[in-house]
Chain A
Amino acid sequence: MFTDFPHSFYYCCLFLAAWFGIMYFRIVSRPFLFLILLVWLVLISELFAKYVSYVWHQSNNFVYHIFTPFEFFIYGFIYSQLLGDKKLKIVISILVLFIFVFEVINTFFLQSIHQSNTNTIIVENIFLVTLSLMLFIRIKEVPTYQNLLTEPVFWFNSIILIYYAFNIMIWGFHNLKVYNLANPPNLMYDINLVFSGMLYLIFSIVLYLEKIKPQSNLIHHG
């Protein structure tokens, strides 16, 4: 099941992040408490998807149709906490609502529950890259961090920017070139798995940095 390197790496990193979540959930600040919730949501949905696929021998794409809007809902909550701006909170709420509506439309009219919901994933990724850039601007506006490289929020936002910008390209390419192929190239999915593993590895580091740093983050608390 997880014998190849990309899968092994991805699940190891995901379990590590989930484990750190259990270890540190009492001490992390509110935005990263929701990050732990997200990691556990990913772990549960991934395990359920594998169960559907290997035990029921059915397509597990429907799991991602449900998972994607809830994933963005949690990211939206994290970013509204980190950005700490009332107007942006309203904008983020609208984006979250939009993703839910878009996913319903996508499922009914564009990509059925038996197909991968790449359209919703691309829109979600565009929103996340935008939010990440906005947070970078906000961090620079109020330079309160003494050493940026030891700040969990910096690592969290950096990996969101890199991973989801790369994801836009992956799923964009997927939509244009390989969506309807009978035998899509595995290399693309393997690269995606390795990058997903790196995302959860960085999340683990973020949680660890949250544990070791004193809680005096101005942006976290708005």
Chain B
Amino acid sequence: MDSSGLQSSGVIFFVLAGLVVIALMLGFIVYFIVSYRHKKKDADLLNLQKKEIEDQKKVVEKTLEQLAEAQDHLIQSEKMASLGLLIAGISHEIQNPLNFVKNFSEINQELISELKDALDNNDNNEIKEILSNLDENMSKIVFHGNRADSIVKGMLTHSRNSQGSKVAKDINALAEEYMRLSYHGFKAKEKSFSATLETDLASNLPLVPVIEEEISRVFLNLFTNAFYATFEKKKLNPDHFEARVLLKTSLFNNRVEIQICDNGNGIPSKNIEKIFQPFFTTKPSGEGTGLGLSLSYNIIKAGHDGEIKVESNPNEGSCFKIYLKYE
């Protein structure tokens, strides 16, 4: 083929082919722009949604922080309420021996006055009798003084031991002590209240490793609830109801079982599932935070790897059962 032939056929083919190539490339670029815009739109939408989710996440996190803060305050309130009951109970415990000390001291003052008269009259028989009474009373004063002293020392021992570590404890003694403390604490609040405290304590219980401060709070909560339940029932039947609270301990499947039962109003079956939930309470506003049983549950389950159960019959009463490992 010569150059003139190329001019007529080859170059025309070349120009046409060139136009086709350019058209194809331009077509590809236009397609690219359109598809890019679609993808960009989708990506922008996705980013917008991501941003919204991020914003919402921040709001939720902030709300959670506020909730945690509020929960801390409530837990603190619950602890303070428990402390109030505890102080009332302790005060009562110390008040009893102090009353004895005070009464016997007053009697002794009178006896000393009588002794002076007897000495003036030289009545030896009277002197001997008065001295004997004085000696007896002094023994009682010493006995009750020692009792008050041991209560204070016991409390000091509690506060020194409460370092968050487990210490092997006599559960019978601890539970009984807090039964009494919470009873007197409750009585200090509700003057008209009285209940029969019953105990059925197993003599063969081993020492149980517990965080004393925490387990004491559980006992305090459960006994206070028991007294509250019986007190509410008593308000409805003031003449025909006798409040009774039972503390029973036993060995059960290699664990120590502690039962705290009352003959109060019981828990309605619809509430049984919720009672260990935080902030659940049936008490009137201002009387309960709804954290007592929730905290108790956490202390037993998480703090002691134990178990806490409740059995209740409406109008017959409730029984809380705690199981703690002792090995």
Contact = CB atoms under 8 A, between A and B. Distances in A.
B17 A148 contact: no
Interface stretch (B7-15, B107-115, B315-323): B7-15
Contact of B3 (A140, A165, A182): A182
Contacts of A214: none
Interface string A141-183: 0010110110000000010011001100110010001100111
Contacts of A191: 15, 18
A187 to B, nearest CB: 6
A98 B10 CA distance: 32
Interface in B5-39: 6-7, 10-11, 14-15, 17-18, 21-22, 24-26, 28-29, 32-33, 35-37, 39
B33 to A, nearest CB: 6
B28 A145 contact: no
Given A177-B6, A178-B6, A181-B3, A188 B14 contact: yes
Given A165-B21, A173-B14, A185 B35 contact: no
A140 B6 contact: no
B43 interface: yes
B139 to A, nearest CB: 93
Interface residues of A, number: 26
Given A140-B32, A177-B10, A184 B18 contact: no
Contacts of B29: 158, 161-162
A191 B12 CA distance: 12
A116 B21 CA distance: 23
Contacts of B32: 136, 140
B128 interface: no
B73 interface: no
B33 A161 contact: no
B102 interface: no
A121 B100 CA distance: 117
B6 A139 contact: no
A143 B43 contact: yes
Please classify the interface of chain B as helix (H, G, I), strand (E, B), loop, or mixed, using the class held by over half of its residues.
Answer: helix
A133 B42 CA distance: 22
Interface in B106-141: none
Contacts of B43: 143
B11 A169 contact: no
A162 B25 contact: yes
A188 B11 contact: yes
Nearest to B10: A177
A69 B1 CA distance: 33
Interface in A55-107: none
Contacts, number: 68
Contact of A185 (B11, B28, B33, B40): B11
Among the interface residues B11, B14, B29, which one has the most CB atoms of the partner chain A within 10 A? Answer: B14
Contacts of A177: 1, 6, 10, 14
Contact of B33 (A148, A162, A183): A148
A17 to B, nearest CB: 21
B21 A187 contact: no
Interface in B56-84: none
A162 B29 CA distance: 9
A153 to B, nearest CB: 12
Contacts of B26: 162
Given A177-B10, A181-B3, A166 B25 contact: yes
Contacts of B6: 177-178, 181, 184-185
A183 B3 contact: yes
Given A148-B33, A148-B37, A187-B11, A169 B21 contact: yes
Given A143-B36, A143-B39, A166-B18, A185 B25 contact: no
Nearest to A183: B3
A148 B11 contact: no
Interface in A119-148: 136, 139-140, 143, 145-146, 148
A145 B40 contact: yes
Contact of B17 (A136, A145, A173): A173
Nearest to B7: A185
Which 3 pairs between the two chains have the least Cβ-Cβ distance?
A143-B40, A162-B25, A183-B3
14 contacts: A136-B32, A139-B36, A140-B39, A143-B40, A143-B43, A149-B33, A161-B28, A165-B24, A166-B25, A170-B18, A177-B1, A178-B10, A188-B11, A188-B14
Interface of B: 1-3, 6-7, 10-11, 14-15, 17-18, 21-22, 24-26, 28-29, 32-33, 35-37, 39-40, 43
Given A158-B29, A185-B10, 5 more contacts: A136-B32, A169-B21, A177-B10, A185-B11, A187-B7
